[in-house]
C-alpha cells in the first residue's frame, strides 16, 4: 500500500517547504492544503504536517483568538457574517474555523458554511474553514488548534472559532481561545434551562442577538436577566467583568461595540499578563490532555483489552468484582502483553 | 522485605474471612480494620482488601448515599452532627465519611472529626471515619467509594460523605452519591462569587444554614436569592427541582424537613428508575476513570518519561516543537521501552 504515496520522501519534504513558503506569503490554496494535511488521519501525512507546523510555529501566536457559541437558532452564522465583515472592513484578516464533533454524522458542512456566511465567504480578507469531518472531540480539537497556528502563520490576525454546542465543544473551545462569546436569544429563563451545565460560566461576553424590531423590548428584559445571573457568577477571566450586551446581526447593530469590547479585553489582559498566562497554561494543558487521550486510545485499541473490557464492565456492574481489582487485572493484561512484543 | 508480612498468605486469607463475617455482623472494629486495609497504599494489603471487598459487594448498595459540601464556615460539622443524630434517633445507622484531598498536608483530622461532631461521635448507631490521609484526589475517591461499600455491608443505611470544598472534591463526591446537598450561609451574592465554577449546578438541595436568631431575616433574603439563581439553572437530577431551604443546625430547625426531602427524592428517583440509572453510570464511569488515571500514573512514574517530560514541556511552551509531535515521541518512548522489558 506504500505505493499510494505520490513521490518519494524527498519530494514530499520539498513540497512541504514550498507549502511553508506559500503559507507565509499568505497564499490561501497552500493554507487550505496544509490544513488538509493536519486534518488527515493517514499516517504518512503526519510527518509532512509536523514538518510544516514546526516551521510555522515561530510565526504563529499573534492573532486574537475568539470562541463563539450559542444555542441553535441564536443566529451564530449571521452574527459571524456581520462581525467578520466588519472586522475585514477595519483592515483585519479574519479566519473562521468550526469545532463540530457532530459533523461526522452529517458528513461535514462545507457547503453549509459557504451559504451560511454569504458575505464573508466572498471577502478576500476572510478565510472560512468548516470543521474537520471526523474524529473524537479531542482529535477535532487538536486539528483546530493546529489549524489556528497555520492561519496565524498565513497572516490572519482575528481567528473566530465557532462551536455548535454539541457535547463538550464549548469547554474544549474555551481552552483554545483568548476570548469567549456566548450568543443568546431573548427569553433568558427558558433558554438557560436548555443550556448545558456550566456554560454560563465560560463567556467573557454574552451577546443577546436579534435585538431588533419587535424584539427590542424582550431583548432589554433578557439583558437584565442575564446581567443578574452574571452578577452571581464568578467571571471566567479574573479582573474582567462579563456583561450582557444587545446586538442585531441582521441590522448590524452592536457589532462595532462588540469588536471594541474584544479589543479592550486584549489590551487589559495583555497589560496584566493574564493573556500570556492563559496561553501558556492552555499549551501545557493541551500537551497533558493529549498524553492522556493517547494513552487511553492505545489502551482501548488493544486487541486483548477491547475483547475483555465488556466482560469487566459486566462484572463491575453486577457487583461480582470490585472496580480496583478489575482495573488491576486490565493493567496487567495491557502491560504484560506489551512486554512480550 | 517480604518478612514484614505477618503470617502466611493462608492465615491472611483466614483473617480476611473473619473480617468479612464480623463486618456482616456489624462489628465496628472489624469495619475500621477493613477500611484501613482499603486505604493502605501497601502492595501486600491490596489482595486482602480486594478479597474482603469481593465478598462484601453483594451485601452493599442498599444505603442512601448523601454528599454534603459547603464553604468554610457554613457549619458543615454542626449540621452533620444534628442531621446524623436526628437520623439515628429515627432508627437509622449513619456513617460519616470525608473526602479531603488536603488532609495530606494537615496530616489527617481524626481528632478533629471526633471533636467536630461531638454528639454523633458518641452515638452507638453512628460511625465516623475521617478522610484517607494521603493520595491523589482520584485515590482518595477510590478509597471513599470502597469504604462506602464496607459501611453498607456493615449495616449502615445512611452514608454521609462530606467534602471540604478544596480542589475538585465536590465534583468527585457528586459522582459517588445519590443526593447532594450544598450548605451555604446568608449573603448569597458575596458567597456565590467565592464559590468554585459549576458548584451551584451540583446540588439536589441548597441548605441555608444558621437561619436563626438575628440572622433570620438575612436567611430569608438569601433563600430568595438562591431560589432565583436556581430558577435559571438546570437541575442536576432530571425531574427533581433543586430548592433552597432554611436550617439551624444549632437549634435543630429544618433538620426533619431536610431528612424528609431526601426520603422523597429517593422514593421518586427509585420509582422513575433514575436512581438505578445514576448508580449504574457512576459505576461504569468509575471503572473508566480509574483506567485513565492508572494509565497516566504508569506513564508519569516511568523513569524515562519523568526525565524527559520537562524538556518536552519546555519545547512546546517555547514554540520549538508542536504538541502532536511531542506526544508522538513521548508515546514511542513509553511503549518502545516497555517492549524491551
> Quick one: what percent of chain A has pLDDT higher than 70?
86
Q: Which residues of A touch B228 (CB under 8 A)?
A: 228
Per-residue model confidence as pLDDT tens digits over B259-311: 999 999 999 999 999 999 999 999 999 999 999 989 999 999 999 999 999 99
d(C-alpha A132, C-alpha B131), whole Å: 45
Res. B247 pLDDT band, cuts 50 70 90: very high
The mean pLDDT value of chain A amounts to: 86
Whether the predicted pLDDT of A137 surpasses 60:
yes
Maximum alpha-carbon separation in chain B: 72
For A311, the enclosing helix (H) or strand (E) is: helix A303-317
Q: Any idea where the domains of chain A sit in the sequence?
A: 14-59, 60-272, 302-339
- What mean pLDDT comes out for the span A71-91? 92
Which of left, alpha, beta for A50 (phi over 0: left; psi -120 to 50: alpha)? Answer: alpha
Which of B58, B142, B291 has its CB closest to that of A330? B291
pLDDT, greater one: B198 or B109: B198
Q: CB of A73 within 8 A of CB of A107? A: no
The mean pLDDT value of chain B amounts to: 86
Q: Which residues of B touch A312 (CB under 8 A)?
A: 287
Strands of the sheet containing A205-208, edge to edge, are: A126-129, A94-99, A158-163, A64-70, A179-184, A205-208, A243-246
- What mean pLDDT comes out for the span A101-105? 51
Considering only CA atoms, which of A292, A305, A310 is closest in space to residue A331?
A305
Per-residue model confidence as pLDDT tens digits over A258-292: 999 999 999 999 999 999 999 999 999 999 999 99
- Its CATH class, for the domain covering B60-272, is alpha beta
Lowest mean pLDDT among A160-174, A200-214, B167-181: A160-174
Which of B197, B296, B324 has its CB closest to that of A234? B197
Whether the predicted pLDDT of A257 surpasses 70:
yes
Is any Cβ of chain B less than 8 angstroms from the Cβ of A42? no
C-alpha cell at A44: 504518512
- Cell 502483553: give the residue: A337
Per-residue model confidence as pLDDT tens digits over B100-119: 766 444 434 444 555 678 89
Q: What is the DSSP letter of A248?
A: B
Per-residue model confidence as pLDDT tens digits over B34-69: 999 999 888 889 989 999 999 999 999 999 999 999
Q: CB of B93 within 8 A of CB of B155? A: yes
Q: CB of A169 within 8 A of CB of A99? A: yes
Whether the predicted pLDDT of A86 surpasses 50:
yes
A179 CB neighbour count, 10 Å cutoff: 24
B165 CB neighbour count, 10 Å cutoff: 20
Which A positions 263-292 lie with beta carbon below 8 A of chain B?
Answer: 280, 283-284, 286-287, 290-292
A288 CB neighbour count, 10 Å cutoff: 15
- What mean pLDDT comes out for the span B245-258? 93
Q: CB of A176 within 8 A of CB of A160? A: no
Considering only CA atoms, which of A233, A231, A242, A173 is closest in space to residue B199?
A233
ipTM confidence score: 0.83
Full DSSP string of B17-63? HHHHHHHHTT-HHHHHHHHHHHH---HHHHHHHHHHHHHHGGG-S-S
Whether the predicted pLDDT of A21 surpasses 90:
yes
Q: CB of A294 within 8 A of CB of B331? A: yes
Task: Provide the CB-side half-sphere exposure for B251 (13 A, CA).
Answer: 12
Please check whether the domain covering B14-59 is classified as CATH 1.20.5.170: yes
Query: Nearest-CA distance from A3 to chain B in Å?
Result: 24
Dihedral sign (CA A37, A41, A42, A43) = positive
Amino acid at each position: 500500500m506504500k505505493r499510494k504515496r505520490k513521490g518519494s520522501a524527498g519530494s514530499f519534504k520539498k513540497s512541504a517547504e514550498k507549502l511553508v513558503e506559500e503559507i507565509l506569503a499568505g497564499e490561501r490554496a497552500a493554507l487550505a492544503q496544509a490544513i488538509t494535511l493536519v486534518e488527515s488521519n493517514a499516517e504518512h501525512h503526519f510527518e509532512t504536517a509536523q514538518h510544516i507546523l514546526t516551521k510555522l510555529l515561530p510565526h504563529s501566536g499573534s492573532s486574537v483568538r475568539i470562541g463563539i457559541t450559542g444555542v441553535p437558532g441564536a443566529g451564530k452564522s449571521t452574527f459571524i457574517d456581520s462581525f467578520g465583515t466588519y472586522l475585514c472592513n477595519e483592515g483585519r484578516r479574519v479566519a473562521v474555523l468550526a469545532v463540530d464533533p457532530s459533523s461526522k454524522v452529517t458528513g461535514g458542512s462545507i457547503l453549509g458554511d459557504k451559504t451560511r456566511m454569504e458575505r464573508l465567504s466572498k471577502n478576500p480578507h476572510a478565510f472560512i474553514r468548516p470543521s474537520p469531518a471526523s474524529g473524537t472531540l479531542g482529535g477535532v480539537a487538536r486539528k483546530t488548534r493546529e489549524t489556528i497556528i497555520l492561519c496565524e502563520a498565513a497572516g490572519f490576525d482575528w481567528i473566530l472559532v465557532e462551536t455548535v454546542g454539541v457535547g463538550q465543544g464549548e469547554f474544549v473551545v474555551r481552552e483554545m481561545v483568548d476570548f469567549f462569546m456566548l450568543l443568546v436569544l431573548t427569553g433568558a429563563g427558558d433558554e438557560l434551562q436548555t443550556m448545558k451545565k456550566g456554560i454560563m460560566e465560560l463567556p467573557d461576553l454574552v451577546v443577546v442577538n436579534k435585538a431588533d424590531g419587535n424584539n427590542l423590548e424582550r431583548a432589554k428584559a433578557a439583558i437584565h436577566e442575564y446581567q443578574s445571573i452574571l452578577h452571581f457568577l464568578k467571571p471566567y477571566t479574573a479582573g474582567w467583568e462579563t456583561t450582557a450586551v444587545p446586538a442585531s446581526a441582521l441590522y448590524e447593530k452592536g457589532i462595532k461595540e462588540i469588536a471594541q469590547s474584544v479589543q479592550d479585553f486584549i489590551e487589559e489582559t495583555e497589560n496584566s499578563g493574564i493573556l500570556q498566562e492563559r496561553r501558556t497554561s492552555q499549551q501545557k494543558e493541551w500537551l497533558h490532555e493529549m498524553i492522556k487521550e493517547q494513552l487511553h486510545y492505545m489502551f482501548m485499541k488493544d486487541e486483548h483489552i477491547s475483547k475483555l473490557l465488556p466482560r469487566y464492565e459486566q462484572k463491575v456492574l453486577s457487583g461480582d468484582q470490585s472496580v480496583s481489582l478489575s482495573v488491576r487485572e486490565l493493567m496487567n493484561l495491557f502491560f504484560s502483553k506489551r512486554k512480550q512484543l
